[in-house]
Structure 1
Amino acid sequence: MTTTETREYVQISDGILQITISTAAKGTSLDFAGINQGTAALQAIDASIGAVLLVGAGGNFCAGGDVRAFSQAPERGAYVGGLAADLHAFVRALEAAPVPVVVGVHGWAAGAGMSLVCAADIAIGGPGTRLKPAYTGIGFTPDGGMSWTLPRIVGVSRAKEIILTNATVTGEEAVQLGILSRIVEDAEVGAEAAKVARAISAGPRSAYAGIRTLLAASPDSTLSEQLDLEAEAISRSADSPTGREGVDAFVEKREPHWQLS
């Protein structure tokens, strides 16, 4: 049965939590009403949700922070620091979410927009997608986790070059670097990202949660430690309703009927 719940920036439909992180009204810059509403929704995720989809509205995924608002703040440091705290609460909620995070990266993903692309599990872009750190362009240092995620995606040396030179990364380059998972035609980015989110939401949710946990542990684990974590996780999977259904369906040569809540 199709179920839909809609708020201004958050929509829940068919097991997908969709969060709009930028709007045309804000010039496609990061919209903190959406960020804060999204944080609350992420922290309230229950078993009915199988995937998170981040989208932008107005022609770009996210053009970064609202620099005009920065310039008008009487206490710029305090103002920007407060925004960073809100953004970081959102990034932490994304990381803690028990479901995969998908983004559709149409147009520009600059500054915090690029940081959120780097925080996703799967990022779909197009030939017209452009990613740019943007921080040094206004004399700022990164936020949104970019200084942590980007080196882990592209390597420390390349991350330094991209951030320090404020490089513009094309969609094709972003795929080669591993920032984007793949590209499709520009007009299909949104639909393809939604398709991926739907497929994940309809899949083996407990397995996806376990995979995210293993991948999160991997950077700080030795190979031996990671092997132990994998052994524990696959044993739990084999005993879970999801694992039992998957094995039974394979043996019986039928499609599995995953438990979705």
Structure 2
Amino acid sequence: MAYETILYEAVDGIARITLNRPEAGHAVNLALAHELLEASINASEDPDVRAVILDASGTVFGFGGDLKYFESQSDRIGACLKETTAYFHAAVSRLHRLNSPVVVAVQGMAAGAGFSLSLIGDIVLAAKSAQFKMAYTAAGLSPDGSSSYFLPRVIGMRRAQELMLTNRTLSAEEAQDWGIVTRVVEDDDLAEEVTKLAAKFAVGPTRAYGGVKRLLASSFQQSVEAQMEDETRTIAELAQTEDGREGLDAFLNKRKPDFKGR
């Protein structure tokens, strides 16, 4: 389908979701939130999609929420924000729950909701030009887009408090040092490196990736016994899948596995 605020394509097992409001710094309004949800559902329902790239056109990743749009809705701003975040948060949830690994590519500024979106990646590559800033309290607002969930888990409570309360800007290198970013690359190499990584995931054991993601997602909320029980169930289920059998046979026979994502 045709989108107005994003671009979407699925080729060779890779779904690419590109934020595409460069004139507005990819600021999140109702339309972008809705289309992001539709794209995330498309990726989750397409059996051929085994990796997802989330990136943005132009020179920035995202300036956050579209404050001009929200201000224009002043008579119903509360309802507008609830509707927008309903779509936006559902999109984040869909991407987080995918079996397919999500690779996020960040260039330029990632502020507010843009910062939040960068946190949902399983792998986050940042160009050297990238900067990260929470920015919400500068506008008298509080975080959304899952950042109050993911940021403390990624960097710890004290650092999350500092970023959210002071709006400190992190460079790409600082973000990598803090654990927000997986790897920093040259700006000109970002697209190539992200595509290369996604292509590797697209021929990998997709259901095993999903098992890893689910186990990590629950690891801060369970007892060690409950977590180990989930580990037992997951590895036993995966061993019985087509890819599980293929992986075991390939390992034992010292050959490259041919995973099908099943």
TM-score by length of 1: 0.92
The aligned length equals 256
Deviation at 1:84, TM superposition (A): 1.8
Deviation at 1:243, TM superposition (A): 1.4
- Partner residue, 1:48: 48
- Partner residue, 2:245: 244
SS, match of residue 123 in structure 1: strand
Separation in structure 1 between the aligned mates of residue 130 and residue 86 of structure 2, nearest angstrom:
27
Deviation at 1:103, TM superposition (A): 0.4
TM-score by length of 2: 0.91
Deviation at 1:50, TM superposition (A): 0.3
Segments of structure 1 that go 5 or more residues without pairing to the other structure are 1-5
Is structure 2 residue 26 aligned with structure 1 residue 25?
A: no
1:72 maps to a residue whose letter is: S
Separation in structure 1 between the aligned mates of residue 37 and residue 70 of structure 2, nearest angstrom:
22
Deviation at 1:169, TM superposition (A): 1.0
Cα RMSD over matched residues? Answer: 1.7
- Partner residue, 1:216: 217
SS, match of residue 11 in structure 1: strand
**Distance change in 2, residues 1:34/1:51 (3 Å):** farther
Is structure 2 residue 126 aligned with structure 1 residue 125?
A: yes
For the Cα contact (< 8 Å) 1:132–1:168, is it kept in 2?
yes
Once the two structures are superposed, the pairs formed by residues 85-124 of structure 1 within 5 Å of their partners are 85-124=86-125
Segments of structure 2 that go 5 or more residues without pairing to the other structure are none
1:4-24 deviation digits (Å, cap 9, x = unpaired) = xx7442111111111122421
Deviation at 1:40, TM superposition (A): 2.0
Deviation at 1:32, TM superposition (A): 4.7
Separation in structure 1 between the aligned mates of residue 91 and residue 113 of structure 2, nearest angstrom:
11
- Partner residue, 1:3: none
Deviation at 1:53, TM superposition (A): 1.0
Once the two structures are superposed, the pairs formed by residues 222-233 of structure 1 within 5 Å of their partners are 222-233=223-234
SS, match of residue 220 in structure 1: coil
**Distance change in 2, residues 1:82/1:95 (3 Å):** same
Deviation at 1:88, TM superposition (A): 1.1
Give identity over the alignment, percent.
37
SS, match of residue 228 in structure 2: helix
1:190-246 deviation digits (Å, cap 9, x = unpaired) = 221122111111111111111111111211111121111112211222222111111
For the Cα contact (< 8 Å) 2:33–2:85, is it kept in 1?
no
- Partner residue, 2:195: 194
- Partner residue, 1:73: 73
Question: Does 55-64 or 26-35 show the bigger shift?
Answer: 26-35
**Distance change in 2, residues 1:182/1:129 (3 Å):** same
**Distance change in 2, residues 1:7/1:16 (3 Å):** farther
For the Cα contact (< 8 Å) 2:243–2:261, is it kept in 1?
no
**Distance change in 2, residues 1:260/1:227 (3 Å):** closer
For the Cα contact (< 8 Å) 2:151–2:160, is it kept in 1?
yes
Separation in structure 2 between the aligned mates of residue 23 and residue 193 of structure 1, nearest angstrom:
21
